[in-house]
Amino acid sequence: MKAFRYRLRPTKAQEAALTEQLRLCRQLYNCALEERIGAYKKEKKTISGYDQMKALPEIKEALPEYKGVYSQVLQDVLKRLDRTYQSFFRRVKQGAKKVGFPRFKGAGWYDSLTYPQLGFSVSGDVAYFSKIGNIRLRLSRPLEGKLKTATITRDCGEWYVSYVCEVEPQPLPETGSSVGVDVGTTWFAITSDGEFVENPRYLQGSMKKLRVVQRSLSRKKRGSGQRKKVKAQVAKLHRKVRRQRLDFHHKTAAKLVRGNDLIAHEDLNVGGLGRGNLARAIHDVGWGQFFQILAAKAANAGRQVARVNPAYTSQACHQCGHTCKANRVSQSRFVCVNCGHQDNADVNAARNILGRAVPLSQNVAAVSASVV
C-alpha cells in the first residue's frame, strides 16, 4: 500500500458543502460516543460500532441532512470511534498509566472524511467524490496502483486528498546485512552499525521556532485579535513541522530498507512498562509514524521488519548478556560490570534489539513484515 496526497481546489460552494459534511460527521461522532457512554452508565451495556452502523438508516430518516453524506463515509465515522475505543481498552489492558478516555470532538477537531472503498475516482486533474462532485486537484506526482481509499482533509484552511493505493511490490536485491534500530530522545535513531541519525537541521529549526511562537501565544489575551493571529501562525508552523518530519521519516526509512534485508526495532506496543517516561511518550507519536512508513517500504521491497520486546535492551550487555542497571554508567556510556565490555549505550541497545530479532528471523512466520 502506498499513499498519495494532493492539494484540492474546491469551489466556494464545494468548500461550503465539505465544511457542512465535516460538521455532520463530527456531530454523528459525538452523538455515537454519548450513546455508548450512556448505555454503559445505565445498563452496563457495551454498544459496538457495528450496532451503531445498523442504526444509520433510521438516523437518515429522522435527520434528512445526513442523506447528503455518502453512506460509507458515515460508516467510517462510527468505525473511527470503534477504533478509538479499542485502542483505549488495549492500552488499559497493557497497564499504561495515563490513558485518555475517548473524547468528544470540539469544533476544529474533526477535519477529515474517509471514503473507505467506493464512491470516488480520479481522472486527470479532477477528483470525483459521491455526494460532493468533481473537485479540481493539483496532480503534483503521478498516481500509481489501484485506488483503495480516499480521505479528504482540511488543514489550516486548505483542502487535501490522500489516496491509499495498492501497488505491485518491487523487491530489491539481497544485501546480506541486517540492522537493529534504537530510537532515542537525544538522537532520532541509533543503529547497531554505530550510526547516529539526527533530526535534520531544518526540522530542528522549525521546531524551535514553533516553541517560541507557542510561548508568545500563551502570553496573548484570550479572545484578542492578536491571539487569533498568533494562533494561525502556530497552526501553520505545526503543519510545516509535520511535513518536514514526514519527509525525513520517508528518507530515513528508505535508506534503512535499501541497505538491509532485515530491520529490527522495538515494538512500541510492548514498551510502556519500565521504559515509559514523559519524554518518550511525546516522541512515541513520531516513532509510530516512522515505523509505519518503514513497514510499508519494507513490504514493498521484500524486506523483513522484526518488532522486538525492548525490555532491558538498554541494561543488558551485548557481549555477555549480563543485565543490570549499573552497566549503564551514564546516559551515553555502557560498561559491563561483569565482563568489562565498553560501548556507547545506545549502540549497545541497538545491537541487543538486532540480537533479539535474529533468532526470530530464522522462523519467518514469527517476523512481522506487516503492511500499513
Q: Are strands 112-115 and 146-155 parallel, antiparallel or unpaired?
A: antiparallel
**Is residue 324 within the footprint of Zn ion (CB under 5 A)?**
no
Radius of gyration of the chain (CA): 24
Residue 323 touching Zn ion (CB under 5 A): no
d(CA 262, CA 309): 16
Closer to Zn ion by CB, 25 or 316: give it.
Answer: 316
**CB-nearer residue toward Zn ion: 263 or 317:** 317
Q: Which position among 162, 322, 369, 372 is part of the footprint of Zn ion (CB under 5 A)?
A: 322
3-class secondary-structure state, position 138:
strand
320 lies in the site for Zn ion, by CB under 5 A: yes
Region of 77-85, 144-152, 339-347, 354-362 interacting with Zn ion (CB under 5 A): 339-347
**Residue 339 interacting with Zn ion (CB under 5 A):** yes
Which parts of 44-70 fold into alpha helices (H)? Answer: 49-54, 56-62
Q: Pick the stretch among 20-28, 137-145, 225-233, 314-322 that binds Zn ion (CB under 5 A).
A: 314-322
Q: Smallest distance, Å, CB 355 to Zn ion?
A: 13
The cell for 163 is: 489516496
Phi and psi at residue 253, to the nearest 5°: -65, -40
Backbone angles phi, psi at 156, to 5 degrees: 50, 45
Tell me the number of residues near Zn ion by CB under 5 A: 8
Rounded alpha-carbon distances, angstroms, from residue 95 to 6, 100, 273, 276, 288: 39, 13, 8, 11, 19
- Footprint of Zn ion on residues 128-157 (CB under 5 A)? none
Q: Which is nearer to Zn ion, 108 or 321 (CB)?
A: 321
Length, in residues, of the chain? 372
Minimal distance, residue 335 CB to Zn ion, in Å:
9
Q: Which of 76, 182, 261, 343 is catalytic?
A: 182
Nearer to Zn ion, 75 or 348 (CB): 348
The answer to whether residues 157 and 25 touch, using CB atoms and an 8 Å cutoff, is no
From 336, 347, 350, 360, residue interacting with Zn ion (rule: CB under 5 A): 336
User: Does residue 95 sit in helix, strand or coil?
Assistant: coil
Residue 192, C-alpha cell as written in the block: 547497531
The reply on whether position 326 binds Zn ion by CB under 5 A is: no
x-or-dash string of contact with Zn ion, 186-225, rule CB under 5 A: ----------------------------------------
Query: What's the closest the beta carbon of residue 343 comes to Zn ion, in angstroms?
Result: 10
Under the binding rule (CB under 5 A), the answer on residue 167 touching Zn ion is: no
**Span of 11-19, 136-144, 199-207, 310-318 interacting with Zn ion by CB under 5 A:** 310-318
Q: Is 139 exposed, middle or buried (0-12, 13-18, 19+ CB in 10 A)?
A: middle
What residues contact residue 109 under an 8 Å CB cut-off, 6+ apart? 26
Q: Decide: is 22 part of the binding site for Zn ion (CB under 5 A).
A: no
Q: Does 273 bind Zn ion (CB under 5 A)?
A: no
Residue 317 to residue 341: CA distance in whole angstroms = 7
Nearest in space to 49 (alpha carbons), one of 26, 21, 80, 91: 80
182 is annotated as an active-site residue:
yes
* Residue 182 DSSP SS3: strand
Q: Is 155 a catalytic residue?
A: no
Q: Which of 76, 82, 261, 346 is catalytic?
A: 346
> Taking CB under 5 A as the rule, does residue 329 contact Zn ion?
no
Least CB distance to Zn ion at residue 152 (A): 55
Which residue in 319, 323, 344, 361 binds Zn ion (CB under 5 A)?
319
Please select the residue that binds Zn ion; options are 33, 179, 316, 317, rule is CB under 5 A.
317
* H or E segment and range at residue 214: helix 201-219
Using the structure block, give the residue that is written with the C-alpha cell 541497505: 259
Using CB under 5 A, list all residues that contact Zn ion.
317, 319-320, 322, 336, 338-339, 341
Residues designated catalytic: 182, 266, 346
